[in-house]
Amino acid sequence: MLSGKFKTLYQRLSGTIDKKRIFHDPLYTLALGTDASFYRLIPEIVIRAADENEISLILRESSLLDIPVTFRAAGTSLSGQAVTDSVLVIAGSNWNNCHISADGSEIRLQPGITGGRVNALLLPYGKKIGPDPASINAAMIGGITANNASGMCCGTAQNSYKTIAGMRLVLADGTVLDTSDEQNKISFRASHSKLLDEISALADSVKDNLPLAERIRKKYKMKNTTGYSLNALVDFSDPFDIIEHLMIGSEGTLGFISEVNLKTVTEYPCRATSLMVFPDIEQACLAVSLLKSSPVSAVELIDRAGLRSVENEKGIPLFIRELSNDACALLVETVAPDKTVLNENIDRLKQAISTIPTETDIRFTDIPAEYELLWKIRKGLFPSIGAMRRTGTTVIIEDVAFPVQNLATATLDLQQILRKLGYDDAVIFGHALEGNLHFVFTQDFGSPREIERYGKLMSEVSDLVVNKYDGSLKAEHGTGRNMAPFVEMEWGKEAYQKMKEIKNIFDPSEY
């Protein structure tokens, strides 16, 4: 039974929004209040919003009552950013409108269409969107942009931040801003001049602080989704451009993205893939550094534990079962406009790593059935760990990035921490070209001892990433609840204060 300000909010909303789409029964809120993370929060109210007008109403009334609002599209978020014990607004599959430009170079999207569906629509144009998370067939555009998702091929050059071309958003006070509409921007400047002036002043203060500006630029040479996108303050001067890019990666805490324009990237028709196996992680990472300047579209690192977790799956090559205990694989892909260029790429890749010892012969395949099977190994790592977990435990996936030149030693250090704390089932894999590692393990939260062990893990990993290598605690999965306590640790007090100022500009009632 709702009470207090939640009851008031329900009364104010139910006069406009169909009550059949406003849920407060405990069974429904429990069922609808779950995302892909290991957090469990039960919302007071869940609303399936139908359109932008309803979002505007929800935000306006919630702000007046000082009630936090959390947004969700598909709920594939891994770090707990799509769960809440307050109000959850779902903008899902009914938010699926899209418009493709005549040449396919740009696409305008609502938040409830999946990335996989978008790429299917773009395929006839020879295009795709830049972000390519492993969950692209389930993840929706709202989460992809709000979390600045990347993936196996896009790196830092083709993520949402780099490919954004316009945005329509709803702010905390219910106001709609469309950065692609000049008339709307004129109206917004008249009604929200204070917000625009504060954004400009904040950006100027960061640019004038040369050490801070340089640190921000350095941090974003790696994948980084820890905290707000501070690079917007040094990359742009126009306040509308800054707002647009601050919204990318803001995880719904600065406003609701109701439509987004993305520049598309080329989807080459020819591709070839190789599963290269090296004697150990050090040799594999050395190969990564040599491949980085070669024509590769993806280089995925998979440690021996990861290979072992999928080696008995149907169709997986038999030789994987016979690899040495220290073996480490790189899943390497190259793409090209035609077969001639593709073969030239393959020759260049083989030559680039010809001095590195391997456990198996290097063989590329351009046969779809074969390379899709190889990618099945990589994409099946997270589910395979989940299938093997002990009853009562949960599967956790963490997501860090190191400078590429430190990837080998950092990976060995990470393995040592996991072994020391008894995470013997942990699997390490990731986007090696970007120094981006994921590690997956099972965790029991049923006893104080286990919770303490998990706390030690997070503390030691954070110390390793931040203090030893100055890396990113969240490379592509978003800050969420998982890394919120560590944002200041990674960025430092000065940068963290700028993030608080950003939040206060967009949502003054928060502070």
Q: Report how far residue 123's alpha carbon sits from residue 506's, in angstroms, rounded to the nearest whole number.
A: 37
- Fold type of domain 270-382: Alpha-Beta Plaits (3.30.70)
pLDDT of residue 387: 67
Q: Report how far residue 83's alpha carbon sits from residue 71's, in angstroms, rounded to the nearest whole number.
A: 8
Pairing assessment for the beta strands 45-48 and 87-90 based on DSSP bridges: parallel
pLDDT tens, position by position, 430-478: 999 999 999 999 999 999 999 999 999 999 999 999 999 999 999 999 9
For residue 278, the 8-state DSSP code is E
Residue 481 has pLDDT above 60, yes or no: yes
- Fold type of domain 384-476: Alpha-Beta Plaits (3.30.70)
CATH code for the domain defined by 4-90: 3.30.43.10
Instruction: Report the mean per-residue pLDDT for the chain.
Output: 94
Q: What percent of the chain has pLDDT over 70?
A: 98
Span 490-496, average pLDDT: 97
Residue 511 has pLDDT above 70, yes or no: no
* Farthest-apart Cα atoms in the chain, separation: 71
Q: Where are the domains of the chain?
A: 4-90, 98-265+501-510, 270-382, 384-476
Q: Which CATH number fits domain 98-265+501-510: 3.30.465.10, 3.40.980.10, 1.10.287.130, 2.40.50.140?
A: 3.30.465.10
Amino acid letter, 88: L
Pairing assessment for the beta strands 127-128 and 265-266 based on DSSP bridges: antiparallel
pLDDT of residue 377: 82
Question: How far separated are the first and last CA of the chain, in Å rounded?
Answer: 29
pLDDT tens, position by position, 238-281: 999 999 999 999 999 999 999 999 999 999 999 999 999 999 99
Q: Report how far residue 141's alpha carbon sits from residue 32's, in angstroms, rounded to the nearest whole number.
A: 19
- Judged by average pLDDT, the poorest of 74-78, 159-163, 337-341 is 74-78
Tell me whether domains 98-265+501-510 and 270-382 share a fold. no
